[in-house]
Amino acid sequence: MIDPNRLMEDLLDKGAEYCDIRKEEWDRMSVTLKDGEIDKISQGGEEGAIVRVLYKNGWGCVGTSNLDDIKEASERALSMAKSSDEFKNEETGLAETEIQKDDVKMPMDENPLDVDTEEKISLVRDLEDKINRDFVSSTEVRYGETVVEKEITTSEGTQVMMEIPRVITYLIITGESDTIQRATEGAGGTGGYELTEKAYEKVDVVTERLKKLLEADTPPSGSLPLIMDPSLAGVFVHEAFGHAAEGDLLSSGNSCLKGKLGEKVAADGVNIKDDPTFKGYGQFPYDDEGTKAKNRVLVKDGVLNDFILDRESAWKLDMEPNGGARAEDFRVKPLVRMSNTIIEPGDLKFEELIEKVDKGIYAKSSSGGQVSTAEGTFQFNAQEGYLIEDGEIVKPLRDVSFNGFTLETLQNITGISDDFEAGIGHCGKGQTASVSHGGPHMLISDVTVGGRE
């Protein structure tokens, strides 16, 4: 590969305003075991680079898996940027950021690349054996690992190198009574093979969930108080609020938070952050523009305090970039993405939240949903639910769904517990990103619950 600094000097000489080169080397491995049989084993490595060029107001981005073609890719990126500029109706710029020189390896106790494939197969078989109870009709265990080495060089002088390992395990079980029910749990994070031990902590969680779902009733419907468990509270904050706080959606007018910086958007005591320095599945030291990662306090005591910003959206919003640029791999340009999105604990005990509810729902873990960041609406499905009556948990429920307006729901938070748990997942936005989401138990005084009386 040609020296990236020489390439960028050439691009600047030809009129580029700015350029950067992100070189990556990936090692990936996955194993899927379904109903006792190996369904898939995938293992391999690849490398490549992407050149990004800003010419006046136009961007050009070209990726290649052949590093010998990087000069050609840079020329194509410049040509693309010039063509884009001709049709651009708005100005484009980059907010200033500190020049970085660094080489960071994220810590791990045991490099997954050093663990034999047979040991990983033994892991998924052992986990399947532990989740295969008499009420389980189908099992699936997935193991995945990635180790990526990145080198980001910019025309402004930033040069950062980093190694980021991630490991994840999913447990998925199905059972059948009068309906088919499914329960899932994931475990892992940023680190080494040692993180597979966390999967064993989820065995009883996922099996007990399915057992209760097979005996559960359908929920009541209407406007009711609802308590989210830490997992569901984290997903709610990520999906309904976090996406609305992404700078590209804000600058394009597709967020219900536009124009509300400094305003009250949630109840007193609500604190929400997106923190890539938190030890979760979305952890990283620098974003994919070379900006140093930092804790972003999005909501402080109910007041909208910050957004998630890459350099371009920060420029458009007249704010400071805070490490919000992430790309799935070297084939694509960075987008504004979340990392570890968290609502911070309060000071109440979980039992105190339950005692506050005369009739309502306790909902646990997410099984999907949808949001509109522009309209500020959401709809979520919970994996598991319970009916609360007279301050006590009465019976298990299934097929619990709820919906509402994001900002109204945040204002209706009337209790936050002092416990905390973070989950892991993959966030889609045209590209996939590894993320964590978490929080405490959270009481919403009034939300629309779907179900049958």
Query: Does residue 195 sit in the same domain as residue 288?
Result: no
pLDDT (mean) for 188-201 = 98
Question: Which tokens go with 411?
Answer: 């204002």
Model confidence at 359: pLDDT above 50 = yes
Out of 159, 186, 213, pick the residue that ends a domain.
Answer: 213
Instruction: Assess whether pLDDT exceeds 50 at residue 144.
Output: yes
Determine contact, residues 212/445, Cβ cutoff 8 Å.
Answer: no
Q: Let me know whether 413 and 303 are in one domain.
A: yes
pLDDT band at 2 (very low <50, low <70, confident <90, very high): confident
What is the predicted pLDDT for the residue at 453? 40
User: CA 51, CA 251: separation in Å to the nearest integer?
Assistant: 24
Structurally, the chain folds into a number of domains equal to 2
- Res 87: pLDDT: 92
Domain that holds residue 443: 222-450
* Structure-token pair, residue 8: 């960028």
Same domain for 307 and 405, yes or no, is yes
354 has a pLDDT exceeding 50: yes
Give the mean pLDDT of 307-327: 98
Q: Distance between CA atoms of 52 and 63, rounded to whole angstroms? A: 9
pLDDT score for 214: 96
User: Which candidate, 46, 51, 48, 50, places its Cα nearest to that of 66?
Assistant: 48
Amino acid 178: pLDDT: 86
Question: Quick one: pLDDT at residue 437?
Answer: 96
For tokens 């084939």, the residue is 331
**Two tokens, residue 117:** 């494939």
Rounded distance, CA 146 to CA 435, Å?
14
- 234 with 345, same domain: the answer is yes
The alpha carbon torsion through 274, 278, 282, 285 (nearest 10 deg) reads 100
Percent of the chain with pLDDT over 90: 97
Over residues 210-233, the mean pLDDT reads 95
Q: Summarize pLDDT for 384-395 with one digit per residue, the tens.
A: 999 999 999 999
Please check whether residues 274 and 325 belong to one and the same domain: yes
How far apart (Å, rounded) are the C-alpha atoms in residues 243 and 272? 13
Structural domain ending residue among the three candidates 182, 213, 244? 213
CB 159 within 8 A of CB 21: no
Query: Do 91 and 207 fall within a single domain?
Result: yes
Say whether pLDDT at 451 is over 80: no
Q: Among residues 213, 234, 255, which one ends one of the domains?
A: 213
Q: What is the CATH number of the domain that holds 168?
A: 3.30.2290.10
Q: Tell me: do 208 and 230 sit in the same domain.
A: no
- 80's tokens: 């693309």
Nearest to 319 by CA among 276, 272, 261: 261
Which of 129, 160, 418, 122 lies closest to 291, judged by CA?
Answer: 160
CA 283-286-288 angle, 5° bins:
105
Pair (35, 110) in one structural domain: yes
- Tokens 């609020």 belong to which residue? 241
Are 307 and 176 found together in one domain?
Answer: no
Both 196 and 249 in one domain: the answer is no
Please check whether residues 266 and 185 belong to one and the same domain. Answer: no
Token readout for 316 is 């458009």
As a three-state string, the secondary structure of the chain is CCCHHHHHHHHHHCCCCEEEEEEEEEEEEEEEEECCEEEEEEEEEEEEEEEEEEECCEEEEEEECCHHHHHHHHHHHHHHHHHHHHCCCCCCCCCCCCCCEEEEECCCCCCHHHCCHHHHHHHHHHHHHHHCCCCCCEEEEEEEEEEEEEEEEECCCCEEEEEEEEEEEEEEEEEECCCEEEEEEEEEEECCHHHHHHHHCCHHHHHHHHHHHCCCECCCCEEEEEEECHHHHHHHHHHHHHHHHEHHHHHCCCCCCCCCCCCECCCCCCCEEECCCCCCCCCCCECCCCCECCCEEEEECCEECCCECCHHHHHHHCCCCCCCEECCCCCCCCEECCCEEEECCCCECHHHHHHCCCEEEEEEEEEEEEEECCCCEEEEEEEEEEEEECCEEEEEECCEEEEEEHHHHHHCEEEEECCCEEEEEEEECCCEEEEEEEECCEEEEEEEEECCC
Averaged pLDDT for residues 20-44: 97
User: Are residue 270 and residue 156 in the same domain, yes or no?
Assistant: no
Residue 1: its pLDDT value, please? 73
